[in-house]
Amino acid sequence: MAVFDTEDNGRSVLTEKTLNGLRNTVDFGRHRLIVSDNNSCYKTKRILKFYQVLIPTMRIITFSENVGTAKAINAGWANRFPGEHCIKMDNDIVVHDKGWVDMLERVIEKDDAIGQCALKRVDLLEHPDNPHDWYHSTLRMLPHTAGEPYYVVEEVEHCIGSCVMHSSKLIGRVGALKQFGVYSFDDALMSLRSALAGFKNVFLPHVRIDHLDVDDDGAYTRWKQQYADDKAYEYGKIKIEYLNGTRDIYEPL
């Protein structure tokens, strides 16, 4: 998880809610948490230290400046064990269902052609009946073993990056997240690289999550939208390079 909280953006409260949600739903006897702090404010630094006591397998990587989401996440992924799947999670997401990390792992174990398995926010447009190619999806039941839960995934073009597990095989094939600047498009580029490498991108739509926001009259959302608009040309250029093969889909960690 990458964190960039300032006194101005007021996101410390979101980080705290996200960490509390993780503590309530993740078995940290089996899993570990790496938080990359992009030089957040003092309040967030105290929150991170507090939860590091509550979550024994939590590690904090501290940067002296905001290096961006992708570089911060990649710093955590660089510590992955052989064969370990890695999650990229934003610090404004609360997951309500216990055992969701184990569910994501089980999906990838049931179909190793799945490169990305994401939790699905309720504001997304992907649906089997959506006629737009970008948002059209397909529901598919994974192989079932008697006595186990049923797993139905939603195959999509693009896994929005709020909370996504990337398979070990995918990371081995395409490497690190790619981003220009400090925000946006890393998830879109990873979804494209995943598909070009022959993997499937899916949602596990039944797991309940909430996307949080601060009460700032939409100022932070407007900043994100403007930043993405400013970077859209560069995104399109890199996308074409991946598609025509002039840029290698592998990005070193």
Q: How confident is the model at residue 164 (pLDDT cuts 50, 70, 90)?
A: very high
Per-residue pLDDT at 226: 87
Global pTM reads 0.95
Q: Which helix (H) or strand (E) holds 57?
A: none
Tokens of 144: 């079932």
Q: How many C-alpha atoms does 87 have within 13 Å on its Cβ side?
A: 23
- CA separation for the pair 238, 243 (Å, rounded): 9
Domains of the chain: 2-244 (3.90.550.10)
Interval 38-81: pLDDT, tens: 999 999 999 999 999 999 999 999 999 999 999 999 999 999 99
- CA separation for the pair 166, 186 (Å, rounded): 13
Per-residue pLDDT at 169: 98
Whether 174 contacts 252, CB under 8 Å: no
Place of tokens 């980080």: 15
